Amino acid sequence: MVEIFGEVDKNEKGKVIAQMPSWYFERQKYELNEKINHLRTLLDGGFISVDRIGIMKEQLRDMEKRLDGIEKSKPNIEGKEKDELAKVVKDVGKVIRDAQFTYSDMQRGTADAHEEARRMVDNDVVELKGAAYELAKKCNIPLDGNKTSRTGAEVVWKIGRKLLGDLSNTEVLRSPK
């Protein structure tokens, strides 16, 4: 099974400190890249005062190192491993769908709000088996035996979908009726 979290997501002791891996967030990577390009343009164009050039170059190196660490931390999956991940993601998606109220129930207001909240947070809602359980452990999901909350299962599904290059909005799983 792939390693989900990279060094940029861990503290000095190697413990994961992030809820989601940093490579998951495309917009933040884009914004960091834009900051790097802007700072590089300012430095190359001579728009920074002489007394601040050293500080700005150090900031540029730090940002480039961070972006490089984020890019390198994304697992590269191919072939059989990708097929296995797709199967796990599909199975987790089915389990999530079963733990959701239907779209119609949500729109009509007939879904029990307390039950919806319980399913989102209690670690006895979704049972993950085999490879799905192993992926949940890799995703740093709190597990009670082999069970987790629907939210925990959704995180596993989202990370798996992102690794496969797919969109990761769990509302696509919700049954219409």
Q: What is the pLDDT of residues 113-163, one digit of tens each?
A: 999 999 999 999 999 999 999 999 999 999 999 999 999 999 999 999 999
**Amino acid present at 51:** D
**pLDDT at position 1, please?**
67
**In whole angstroms, what is the distance from residue 32 CA to residue 70 CA?**
11
Which string of b and e fits 89-116 if b means at least 16 CB within 10 Å? bebbbebbeebbbeeebeeeeebeeeee
**In whole angstroms, what is the distance from residue 147 CA to residue 130 CA?**
12
- Whole-number CA gyration radius for the chain: 21
**pLDDT at position 2, please?**
82
CA distances for 38 relative to 47, 56, 62, 145, angstroms: 11, 11, 14, 49
Largest CA distance in the chain: 66
